[in-house]
Amino acid sequence: MAVKEILKIGNDTLRKTSHPVEKFNLRLWLLLRDMADTMYKAEGVGLAGPQIGILRRVVVIDVQDDHGLIELVNPEIIAAEGEQGGPEGCLSVPGRQGFVYRPQKVTVRAQDRHGKVFELTGEDLLARALCHEIDHLDGKMYVDIEDHEIVEEEDEEEQE
Ligand code: ZN
């Protein structure tokens, strides 16, 4: 296990544009492993390179469905349809959630850890995670596009 520190909002690195991966070598595989370890330790459903200070276009996602761990290198969204609105959080913005509109379904073209190009289509939470993580590679965060912050209501006084 190599769990890395997750950068928090306010850190300039999170706002930079990540560079494409050109070498599909051991260094990339170690980065992917560290990112997965870090995501699972933090109990997140996705993590992008910049969140651990690495400005490379690399994303890991696991929304606890049949896909298991998804590794995306140089991903780009090539199709999007529909709309969903729902709560969204980010490991770089702890203790907070926002209500964010995203496409209902997206198709991503990416490379795997060996450089092989593939396409992946996700709906619902997976579509949301794909959009959210790929945004990170361009220095974008959900707080930029949220409709409103979701504020948990205080426990009200006992009432009938
Ligand atoms: Zn995030």
Beta strands 93-102 and 58-61, pairing class: unpaired
Helix (H) or strand (E) segment spanning residue 70: strand 70-81
Write the DSSP string, 77-145: EEEEES-EEEEEEETTEEEEEEEEEE-SEEEEEEE-TTS-EEEEEEEHHHHHHHHHHHHHTTT--HHHH
At 152 the pLDDT is 79
List the catalytic residues.
133
CA distance 40 to 3: 9
The yes-or-no verdict on residue 116 having pLDDT over 70 is yes
Ligand 1 geometric centre to CA of 46 (Å): 7
Q: Whole-prediction pTM value?
A: 0.94
**Four-point Cα dihedral 30, 33, 34, 36, nearest 10:** 160
Place 158 in a pLDDT band, splitting at 50, 70 and 90: low
pLDDT in tens, 46-68: 999 999 999 999 999 999 999 99
The yes-or-no verdict on residue 159 having pLDDT over 60 is no
Ligand 1 geometric centre to CA of 56 (Å): 15
Ligand 1 geometric centre to CA of 100 (Å): 12
Ligand 1 geometric centre to CA of 160 (Å): 40
